Amino acid sequence: CKLDYQAPADLLDGRIILVTGAGDGIGRAAALTYARHGATVILLGRTIAKLEKVYDEIEQQGGPQPAIFPLNFEGATLKDYHDMAETLDKEFGRLDGLLHNAGLLGRITPFDQYNPELWEQVMQVNFNGPVWMTQALLPLLKASTDASVIFTSSSVGRKGRAYWGAYAASKFATEGFMEVLADELDNLTSIRVNSLNPGATRTQMRKNAFPAEDPDNLRTPDEIMPTYLWLMGPESRGHSGERFDAQPPRK
Ligand code: NDP
């Protein structure tokens, strides 16, 4: 946890960074924060109007011109990921950062009532989609001299909890895949691969999961950005296959 980390303003100068789920919540904050620290950000998500708003905000901040990449993990195919890699290759030639942030909560419900279609959807958006997107983007990450891949986890991806069903399973799968990929790439490339648990954060997803909770007691996406910056920037070089938290765990 690097809540107190103070990133230099030029931390990400010249870096090309893709953020999934960049239109809302934590992904939106990460896209704006990375751009403010000099990165050219590729905004990926399913709701174009939201991505366009973030695009405009980055332009207003005076950051490097971002790019928008509409993609819905629910319907995306291998071809979509490879077309995407081809487009990014033509446009940028490499990728220095990949923040897997897009996520779907599904339902908090006893397992015997879990709808199998919803289960598949959650696994698709939170796990399988990001896996195949990562495979397609590997050549671009290898073309970078210092690439950071961050998978977003959750406390229920580290310790199971009743009723969290597919969401928890998808986050456990994410942690496992993170370790496999980090181990495979270790020493072979300059790509580091880690997972990051944002912790309870004031977003729509958190509200859906805990409707009775007072959001004022939660940190905002902006407040947890120091760890997102540290892990994306060069100071986290040498760390790979590790699990990080963006804020101290709640009691
Ligand atoms: P939000 O629901 O606020 O944002 C999720 C983002 O993911 C949205 O931009 C959403 O797009 C996008 N997304 C959802 N489904 C798809 C899809 N099928 N294809 C493409 N994009 C999609 O959630 P948070 O910001 O809270 O969560 C971000 C990450 O952090 C998630 O991985 C979540 O699991 C994790 N997390 C969050 C915690 C919290 O307390 N907030 C705690 C622990 C983990 P759209 O805007 O179009 O809906």
* CATH superfamily of this structure's domain 16-245: NAD(P)-binding Rossmann-like Domain (3.40.50.720)
Active site residue 163: no
Instruction: Please check whether residue 127 is in contact with residue 157, taking contact to mean a CB–CB distance below 8 angstroms.
Output: no
Closest alpha carbon to 123 in 68, 159, 81, 73: 73
- In angstroms, the CA 178 to CA 64 distance is 30
For the chain, which residues make up each domain, given as ranges? 16-245
**Residue 206 in contact with ligand 1 by CB distance below 6 A:** yes
This complex has an ipTM of: 0.99
- In angstroms, the CA 166 to CA 169 distance is 5
Closest atom of ligand 1 to CA, residue 26: 25
Closest atom of ligand 1 to CA, residue 47: 47
Regions of the chain with pLDDT less than 50: none
Q: Which of 34, 55, 81, 167 is catalytic?
A: 167
How much is the pLDDT for 81?
98
Q: How far is the CA of 104 from the centre of ligand 1 (A)?
A: 6
pLDDT digit string, tens, across residues 187-217? 777 999 999 999 999 999 999 999 999 999 9
How much is the pLDDT for 251?
59
pLDDT digit string, tens, across residues 166-189? 999 999 999 999 999 999 998 777
Nearest CA to ligand 1 atom 11: 21
Q: Token pair for residue 160?
A: 């199971």
Closest atom of ligand 1 to CA, residue 200: 40
pTM of the model: 0.98
What are the two backbone dihedrals, phi and then psi, of residue 183, each rounded to the nearest 5 degrees?
Answer: -65, -40
Per-residue 3-state assignment (H helix, E strand, C coil) for the chain: CCCCCCCCCCCCCCCEEEEECCCCHHHHHHHHHHHHCCCEEEEEECCHHHHHHHHHHHHHHCCCCCEEEECCCCCCCHHHHHHHHHHHHHHCCCCCEEEECCCCCCCCCCHHHCCHHHHHHHHHHHHHHHHHHHHHHHHHHHCCCCEEEEEECCHHHCCCCCCCHHHHHHHHHHHHHHHHHHHHHCCCCCEEEEEEECCCECCHHHHHHCCCCCHHHCECCHHHHHHHHHHHCHHHCCCCCCEEECCCCCC
Q: How far is the CA of 209 from the centre of ligand 1 (A)?
A: 12
